[in-house]
Amino acid sequence: MPGREFAFDPPERFVAGTVGQPGQRTFYLQASGSGRTVSVALEKMQVSALAERLDELLDEVRRRQGADSTVPALAPAQLEDVAPLEAPVEEEFRVGTLALAWDDDTSLVIIEAQSLVEDLEEGTEAPSDIDTNADMLRVTLAPAVARAFAKRALRVVAAGRPPCPLCGNPLDAEGHICPRQNGHLHAG
């Protein structure tokens, strides 16, 4: 059965956000437009990597375009979105793969989030690129909107538990079992 595609070209709103308390949070990408809202769940590290790579991509496009670049160096303040995710948050799928691209023809950023695909049974062929059973969220963003998305996403990631200075894993209020201390409790 072919996967579902949720396309927003462009979305009215595209944000990263969370549901739950630090240490218990679920991370989401949420796209809204034309009276519909799609929320997909993903890992904290995926949100962080997407935001960082997005900034790197925009910096590279800006560098290549030189003085004529339409890519802003920073997120415009008027595009800052601090509102919570639209409720109710109903997960369409869990993200397995993220893809990021720059379209030279339209000067837009393309972000694709593809669902996890169940492991194939032994003896079956992997689906081709054309016939996939994975669900997909696809958004196209103007460079300024992409910068604002990345800024918010990094802020959302940073709002969680502080990292352990030794291993980088999140610290609980009581500390955590730190692999860099051979499994001993490390209190922040």
The residues spanned by each domain of the chain are: 5-118+132-162
Q: What is the pLDDT of residue 169?
A: 73
Q: What is the pLDDT of residue 36?
A: 97
Which tokens hold the place of 50?
């997407």
Q: Amino acid identity of 39? A: S
Q: What percent of the chain has pLDDT over 90?
A: 69
> What is the reported pTM?
0.82
Q: Quote the CA–CA distance of 54 and 70 in Å, as a whole number.
A: 15
CATH class entry, domain 5-118+132-162? alpha beta
Kindly give the pairing relationship between strand 176-178 and strand 184-186.
antiparallel
What residues pair up with 114 in beta bridges, in sequence order? 97, 136
Ranges of the chain with pLDDT below 50? 120, 130-131
